[in-house]
Chains A and B, each alone.
Chain A
Amino acid sequence: NAGVMQNPRHLVRRRGQEARLRCSPMKGHSHVYWYRQLPEEGLKFMVYLQKENIIDESGMPKERFSAEFPKEGPSILRIQQVVRGDSAAYFCASSRLAADTQYFGPGTRLTVL
């Protein structure tokens, strides 16, 4: 059973470009969570999605950030018009049920030049 997959593993963008991060949950998991980790800090919750629905986006900045988890395909975290402060590691986690253990992917390390 493959684990949570994220791609790309590393992403470099210039200020003002768009970043698109993908997350494929574990097989049988329909709950996806996105977290952001700044250097030397813990992970901060951003958004929680189920298939085709955003359940909780309380941790996501109101502007430039959006997330989706379509019926088919991976969950996508989109950052428009990136700024240097967006440089971080973005982790996706998935769970089978809402109350189950969250399993994390290897992360996408975004660098904004």
Chain B
Amino acid sequence: QQQVKQSPQSLIVQKGGIPIINCAYENTAFDYFPWYQQFPGKGPALLIAIRPDVSEKKEGRFTISFNKSAKQFSLHIMDSQPGDSATYFCAASRSGSARQLTFGSGTQLTVLP
């Protein structure tokens, strides 16, 4: 019940394309859904996060869509650039004194020039 399932495992798009990464969760107690970007040899960096009281959140070229009834959320990257090539992780956590993050397995994105 703690799992977060992420797909696809890898994704290749042309520059300017809109890659979409999907995640699904099982635990209905989750109420915080961040996306992290990780470059090789680096730690994950927070991109954008959403809570279940909204269905969409935009920050720059990054958009999260959230479907509470389906227990799914996705990341869209508008006008993707070669510099966006990285591994993207979705995660989820629930309220409480400890916000341990449950991560998806990651999506390796390649944006071709």
Contact = CB atoms under 8 A, between A and B. Distances in A.
B43 A101 contact: no
Nearest to A43: B103
A42 B43 contact: no
B100 A104 contact: no
Interface stretch (A63-71, A79-87, A91-99): A91-99
Interface residues of B, number: 23
A91 B100 CA distance: 13
Nearest to A95: B99
Given A91-B43, A99-B95, A106-B43, A45 B101 contact: yes
B89 interface: yes
B98 A101 contact: no
Contact of B103 (A42, A48, A100): A42
A98 B101 contact: no
Contacts of B99: 95, 98-100, 102
A44 interface: yes
B42 A41 contact: no
A45 B44 CA distance: 14
B100 A59 contact: yes
Interface of B: 6, 34, 36, 41-46, 49, 89, 95-106
